Structure 1
Amino acid sequence: MMEHKRSGRLAAGIVRFSQDGRWDQDVHRLLRYARHEAVVAVSNPANSLDHLRLGQVVVDDLLSAGKQVRLLYSPDYLELRDRRPLLRHSSRGAQIRVTDNDFHNALIIDRRVAVLWSGAGADHPYAYLVREPALLRALHQFALLSWQSGHGLTEPAETRVVLDDTARAVLNTLNLGLIDEAAARRLGVSLRTYRRHIAELMTRLEVRSRFQIGVRAAQLGLLDDIAGAPAAREF
């Protein structure tokens, strides 16, 4: 069950609970109680592949049960995601929109309960369970306005990224989890040169962090091209 940890004086009907290793499972358990509709708005997700996989499973379950599902995403969220599962959800009846509006990570179930949570990079991760009617109405109205401002999900054109030997070697060191100094020694280059290669790899893959390099490389199948490379990991 969800372990609520109160923090300060919160309004009636609002509970704060910690984002420990099980919190996303608790949230997805709430989704299974949806009677009619679930609205999922994700702008800045947590750096968790388990979180993403759980979300896909629960949406599949809701659609199989005949529930209405609305999925609202930010362009940043979709930038590094494989869209095939989302397109599959769309083909099964999920309504999906993408908006440039700023919005908070939120889940609204039947307009009876909502969860707000922080995303990757938050200094103090948090999640709020909301049952207060006035706030629920405001959250739903804001989600509706963001939904109306959005556009449909489109399937991106197939992209084939080809890396040279240097970029492949740098990607391999990241996949192995080596620290920069050890990776530079392994490649026989200076630390400054190694970090320049990483910056060039980010530019080549159109990402902004080392974690995103790993996600994007896995999506493009680049890790499969590295001979003898171990299974993909989060960088």
Structure 2
Amino acid sequence: MHSKHTGSPATGIVRFSQEGQWDRDVHRLLRHARREAVVAVSNPAPSSDHLRLGQVVVDDLLTAGTQVRLLYSPDYLETRDRQPLLRHSARGAQIRVTDNDFHNALIIDRTVAVLWSGAGTRHPYAYLVREPALLQALHQFAVLSWQSGHGLTAPAESVVIDDTDRAILNALNLGLIDEAAARRLGLSLRTYRRHLADLMTRLGVHSRFQIGVRAAQLGLLDDPGCR
């Protein structure tokens, strides 16, 4: 790490000032995750470079098969384009949103963590934690907060569907299997499933049941009496 730091590594806790190559150092650390990465972001990131690097790193972790849990605050989501997050969700990232208060944190394989403090001040700083008992407590708190949150969804105003999308939603609502739905729409099975996967990504859902619930919430289904 290139950032200025204080504290003794022997204690398992080191304080870093957020200067220089801090963003890149943290993302380099995140790349070392092999089994699990828990990322909790409450406050908006200070730079667009931070956001870009984070997106690239999460993509790499998902490609490698690493379990990725992402916890966001509503305030943070207001600063973000949700489409990259929805894409991460479709690729297997487990994303939750919570109103609970929490600090920005990163936990890697339950062996090392970074905890930010002083957010919004002129001189924010962070702690690098390797002390096992504190790591366990941080991980438990992060996972409990993640479990108490709700799923990420695309904002209603950003969801635009065409006639094919609507036909797919209505076929799902009728309970048609993929083969029957594809025939009904005049599509090959592969094309139908590709359209369905894209639609699930845009709606921010993971299952056939969830897509029906989300479509109903957004008023995207035809009135049964109109069919």
Shorter chain as normaliser: what TM range?
Answer: 0.5 to 0.7
In the superposition, relative to structure 1, how do residues 123 and 157 fare at CA in structure 2: closer, same or farther (>3 Å)?
same
Where 2:38 maps in the other structure, the secondary structure is strand
Cα drift, residue 10 of structure 1:
8.3
Is residue 75–residue 98 contact of structure 1 (8 Å, CA) maintained in 2? Answer: yes
Question: In the alignment, residue 136 of structure 1 is paired with which amino acid?
Answer: L
In the superposition, relative to structure 1, how do residues 37 and 136 fare at CA in structure 2: closer, same or farther (>3 Å)?
same
Identical aligned pairs, as a percentage?
Answer: 84
Is residue 71–residue 97 contact of structure 2 (8 Å, CA) maintained in 1? Answer: yes
2:16: which partner in 1?
17
In the superposition, relative to structure 1, how do residues 5 and 21 fare at CA in structure 2: closer, same or farther (>3 Å)?
closer
Q: Deviations over 1:164-205 (max 9, x none)?
A: xxxxxxxxxxxxxxxxxxxxxxxxxxxxxxxxxxxxxxxxxx
Q: How does the TM-score come out when normalised to structure 1? A: 0.63
Cα drift, residue 47 of structure 1:
2.0
Unaligned runs of 5+ in 2: 159-227
1:43: which partner in 2?
42
2:80: which partner in 1?
81
1:136: which partner in 2?
135
How many residues of Structure 1 are paired with residues of Structure 2 in the alignment? 158
Is residue 13–residue 127 contact of structure 2 (8 Å, CA) maintained in 1? Answer: yes
In the superposition, relative to structure 1, how do residues 119 and 52 fare at CA in structure 2: closer, same or farther (>3 Å)?
farther
Q: Tell me, in whole angstroms, the C-alpha distance in 2 between the residues paired with 1:16 and 1:92.
A: 34
Is residue 18–residue 125 contact of structure 1 (8 Å, CA) maintained in 2? Answer: yes
Unaligned runs of 5+ in 1: 160-235
Q: Tell me, in whole angstroms, the C-alpha distance in 2 between the residues paired with 1:27 and 1:9.
A: 19
1:1-235 equivalent positions in 2, closer than 5 A: 2-3=1-2, 5-7=4-6, 12-118=11-117, 120-158=119-157
Is residue 46–residue 120 contact of structure 1 (8 Å, CA) maintained in 2? Answer: no
Of 43-52 and 6-15, the range deviating more from structure 2 = 6-15
Q: Deviations over 1:84-136 (max 9, x none)?
A: 00000000000000000001100000100000124652243101110000110
Q: Tell me, in whole angstroms, the C-alpha distance in 1 between the residues paired with 2:123 and 2:55.
A: 26
Is residue 105–residue 119 contact of structure 1 (8 Å, CA) maintained in 2? Answer: no
Question: In the alignment, residue 41 of structure 1 is paired with which amino acid?
Answer: A
Is residue 33–residue 109 contact of structure 2 (8 Å, CA) maintained in 1? Answer: yes
In the superposition, relative to structure 1, how do residues 30 and 43 fare at CA in structure 2: closer, same or farther (>3 Å)?
same
Question: In the alignment, residue 147 of structure 2 is paired with which amino acid?
Answer: Q
Cα drift, residue 18 of structure 1:
1.9
Q: Superposition RMSD on alpha carbons, in Å?
A: 1.8
Q: Tell me, in whole angstroms, the C-alpha distance in 1 between the residues paired with 2:46 and 2:24.
A: 15
Where 2:99 maps in the other structure, the secondary structure is coil
Q: How does the TM-score come out when normalised to structure 2? A: 0.66
Q: Tell me, in whole angstroms, the C-alpha distance in 1 between the residues paired with 2:7 and 2:33.
A: 29
In the superposition, relative to structure 1, how do residues 55 and 48 fare at CA in structure 2: closer, same or farther (>3 Å)?
same
